[in-house]
Structure 1
């Protein structure tokens, strides 16, 4: 799985060196040369970025300000780069939400080790499951286990309702058979006369304002199961 790193540094040699080195180690690297270009890249590719590397001293701003801006928008990991030997710079960076700090000059192998350690700690090596799934004006927050309606009101989902909706939004357009849905929501298969799954689907349709007689979102596939018949977008940030 390719992970994307966004790097900002005003030194072209450093940018080129790190891009070449990290790409050899199976990372995709996007580059910026100042604060403005960094923020433009960050906003454009925010959902793809797994880590940011910020130089402290930039022509138009400080890396500290960029770190604050990132933290207001996302919990993506941040590594600060600095040529300063001041301990206070490291402390300030960490207080503003940076995950690690490395001084210049540095060995690219050390930076790579720091990146891998942060990815392990954040769980991104194990899972890239997004937090938010958006469809038809609704947003499912898988961390809070809540459903946000088109008006912005959030409501908690019960265990089985949450598991069912999560499975549906993760597989839009895919026919999910009844046995698979039952295994995920109940941990067991359904008996031939067990209608509990149908009741649960009906309840979820009501929450999504989906007409039970002519559903547009959760459609029944006779003899098979159900399909989530809408477009779903996923992201790590709201």
Structure 2
């Protein structure tokens, strides 16, 4: 297996109109070695993102001038976001995740829990970047054996089921392009994609698992949120 290159994510932007909580988070995070900047609403935060290097955003939802939801809609960056809020319904969580938030933490929370969530994001990003790095290093000599439903990738052989093999080959032949779920469902699984049909997702998940078991990056098959899947373009 490959070793993780753990990220130095030290710059945190706290966005909350509660000045007491701002102060507590700033002192607590700085005690752990983080560099903390503050904003009291979404507009201030967006301006800071234009001119400052930020690794993680801690974002409240309810704020004056521009709240957290509107900020998530307007932002152009891809900085990881941990939403913090006293609102904690299922719909609240769904809303922020659909807008690109990475985690949701209900108020009140402990300093320890926040640090655990930040470290979890660091590990996830390290995993993605290391898989991407490994993918770039592969020669990507890909050979398909249609009789045994196996694929040889840079001298590593992966055995698939017939459906997994067809999915992998279909995506590979269109590498660099996003293939919609309904197209994959129709062309490979030979049926229309239903609203609650998860067969395609299950086959993709199994394909990725078999790649990982062969010490190949699961990120060879990328999920493009709201659009479909793509094969990693070299």
TM-score, length basis structure 1: 0.49
Considering only aligned residues, what root-mean-square deviation do their CA atoms show, in Å? Answer: 2.8
Question: Structure 1 residue 88 and structure 2 residue 91: aligned?
Answer: yes
Question: Structure 1 residue 78 and structure 2 residue 112: aligned?
Answer: no
2:23 aligns with: 16
Q: 2:112 aligns with which of 98, 109, 112?
A: 109
The alpha carbon displacement at 1:2 in A equals 6.0
| Structure 2 gap segments, 5+ residues each | 1-7, 140-234
Partner SS state of residue 20, structure 1: helix
1:55 aligns with: 60
What is the distance in 2 between the residues matched to 1:85 and 1:76?
23
1:223 aligns with: none
Alignment of 1:35-184 (within 5 A): 35-45=42-52, 48-70=53-75, 73-123=76-126
What is the distance in 1 between the residues matched to 2:21 and 2:119?
20
The alpha carbon displacement at 1:125 in A equals 11
More helix per residue: 2
Q: Deviations over 1:175-224 (max 9, x none)?
A: xxxxxxxxxxxxxxxxxxxxxxxxxxxxxxxxxxxxxxxxxxxxxxxxxx
What is the distance in 2 between the residues matched to 1:62 and 1:89?
13
| Structure 1 gap segments, 5+ residues each | 128-141, 146-158, 160-238
Moved over 6 A (4+): 124-127
Assess, with a 3 A threshold, how the Cα gap between structure 1 residues 89 and 24 changes in structure 2: closer, same or farther: same
The alpha carbon displacement at 1:61 in A equals 2.1
Larger Rg: 1
TM-score, length basis structure 2: 0.50
What is the distance in 1 between the residues matched to 2:128 and 2:110?
23
Partner SS state of residue 65, structure 2: coil
The alpha carbon displacement at 1:44 in A equals 1.2
Aligned length, in residue pairs: 129
Partner SS state of residue 123, structure 1: helix
- 1:54/1:66 contact within 8 Å kept: no
- 1:2/1:26 contact within 8 Å kept: no
Assess, with a 3 A threshold, how the Cα gap between structure 1 residues 2 and 95 changes in structure 2: closer, same or farther: closer
What is the distance in 2 between the residues matched to 1:32 and 1:66?
12
What is the distance in 1 between the residues matched to 2:79 and 2:46?
14
